[in-house]
Structure 1
Amino acid sequence: MIELLKREKTSRRGSNASFLARFHQDLKDTERWDAVMEVRRIRSRARQDDAALNACRKRKVTVGFMRSHKKRDEWLKQDTFECAAILLKGRDAHVTAHGVRRSYKKVEKALKDPSHAIGAWFDDPFLKSLGLQGLQERKPGTNTFLFLP
């Protein structure tokens, strides 16, 4: 199967030219979807931190925590898809907020309806044999430590 995918010749161009090119695009879409889910997780954590700080106002917190907490709150004032686009900066899957939104909807549709399934759910050895990056080989991006003081 791997050799058939690698040997495929096509007359079309672009990200949907061959099965391998479509699969590579699906990997990028999945990475963008994952960035949106990460932003939602960060938002949830920020709400929990706000609730804990409001519940115990007299409790001492470190200056570094408050600085990173305020920095995170400033960042989260943006739209979820804009935050995800910022997280993807420096990676192969980096696009604008509109591109993140489109990829997110595509993956959500694939998760709901198996007839629109995308093939981005393979393990690293299979991806490496196709010549694609595995999960461990992907670029970390430039915003890895976004909230550190």
Structure 2
Amino acid sequence: MTTELTTAILSTPQGAGSNPALDDDEKQPRRLTSEQLTHELRQYTGSENWYRHGLNRKMHYTDGIKFFAENGGEQGAYWLLDLIATDTWQLLKKEAFLMVSITVKDNKADCVVDDGNGRVIKTSHITYTDLQAGIWKFYLTGDILLLPGEY
């Protein structure tokens, strides 16, 4: 999928007709590869919008995080935002800045939360995920979850 096609997919309103990113056989949106997702995330160097998380109304997230949540995995990766909002958020009581790294390989993931200087605060293992393989990093500071490029 090219960047142009990705842009077209993201800017096409729902219900606006046929979607060129759908496979004819499956009629399901094609998922971005790890490389495509990485490329798209690099485009985010700031955010025009902040979104409030539904479970933790104190947590906000940026345009880049929203893109990740919509395009990570087969059905999106909002589950990861939920995990951060409910499980990782509490660590902000003792640390002003957190880096969350998700390493995905063979449909399994390891989540490491550190203080940004390499001091590990928490680790967890996810036994199954459809998130694209790779290392995905996020910053959590103040009340905002953001991509490193948006910091």
- Structure richer in strand, relative to its length: 2
Both structures adopt the same fold (TM-score exceeding 0.5): no
TM-score normalised by the chain length of structure 2? 0.24
Of the two structures, which has the highest relative contact order with CA contacts closer than 8 Å and spacing of 6 or more? 1
- Structure 1 or 2, whichever has the larger Rg, is 1
